Amino acid sequence: MDPLFKTSCNQGGNYFAPYAEASEMAKAEHNTVSGRIVSPVSGEPSGVNHVNLDFTADSATGQKEIGISSRAVASDEDTSDAVNRKPGLNTFVGRINYAFEELDKQNFSNVERLFRGVYLEEGLDELEYHRSLVGLARSLVEQKTYKKLTEAQHHLQVLRGSEWCTTSGASIIPDLDITLSRCEQELGLPIQAEARLLTLRRKSLHADEKAMCEPSDNYHADIAMVRQWQLMKKPKLALTLLQNMRAESTLRLTKERWPSSPACAAIELHECLKEVNMMLATLSGDGQI
């Protein structure tokens, strides 16, 4: 996996905001957009559009893609055996979590098959469907062929329909816009990727550099922004944002502003602060500043 895009702090593709106010803000926003609420236990998700695609041979690799024409999705014997041997994989959540664990091991073609084997299943609730489809897109982006990148882009653009967006146009589905921005970067659309991350961070596309480099309430979006600016050869912006993130995190740790689960929140923020410091050291060591 490209070190620029290594999953930060938390694993498994779940949303995590290290700043105390962020999680409650995300929940409130999620519950008010178009009146849609993800149910933890439900049957067939209302309004979920299961897209049927038929991807044939990849022009770059010649590899035959798995065709999708129904909810019965093929998976190879190795994948099936691994899933059957793994305890706790008789639930959708277990299978999705296992696929994200495998994603961290960078066996992307195998992870692709795992996610294809779950995201069209009957009975997924909306949260499970979103996680599995975003996971599939991440596995496709990591393989970096044009065929897989365009498939990932298609899935994410369909999933992020207007009912799952804020009034500013950012998706509230965890990790979707970050994954889509990575996909756009790989497809040679860096300006589009940058604009998407700025919107996700609630920054105006016409803001000055000072405003753009202020930390948002979304840690992962800020980290993705840093990496995007590195790729776009904007080290000054990347450095300034990292420095501001370090200052903000240090201040919050000092003030101990933790309304709930203080020990857990502090540990998570310490981990994020450690990552920020490592990125600052790397940026300085690369001679980009």
Span 29-75, pLDDT tens digits:
444 433 333 333 333 334 444 444 444 444 444 443 333 333 333 34
CB 216 within 8 A of CB 203: yes
Which residues have a Cβ under 8 Å from the Cβ of 262 and sit 6 or more positions away? 256
Q: What are phi and psi of 171, to 5 degrees?
A: -75, 140
Distance CA 192, CA 184 (A): 7
Averaged pLDDT, 247-254: 88
Q: What pLDDT does 93 receive?
A: 94
pTM of the model: 0.72
pLDDT tier at 17 (50, 70, 90 boundaries)?
Answer: very low
Distance CA 55, CA 151 (A): 8
Q: What pLDDT does 254 receive?
A: 81
Q: What pLDDT does 182 receive?
A: 98
Q: Report the candidate in 251, 200, 207, 249 with the shortest Cα–Cα distance to residue 228.
A: 200
Distance CA 82, CA 74 (A): 15
Question: Is residue 71 classed exposed, middle or buried when 0-12, 13-18 and 19+ CB atoms within 10 A define those classes?
Answer: exposed
Which is more confidently placed, 262 or 155? 155
Span 187-219, pLDDT tens digits:
999 999 999 999 999 999 899 999 999 999 899
Q: What pLDDT does 197 receive?
A: 98
Name the 3-class secondary structure at 108.
Answer: helix
Span 143-163, pLDDT tens digits:
999 999 999 999 999 999 877
Question: Is residue 210 classed exposed, middle or buried when 0-12, 13-18 and 19+ CB atoms within 10 A define those classes?
Answer: exposed
CB 288 within 8 A of CB 235: yes
Q: What pLDDT does 58 receive?
A: 46
Averaged pLDDT, 169-193: 97
Residue 28 pLDDT exceeds 80: no
CB 269 within 8 A of CB 256: no
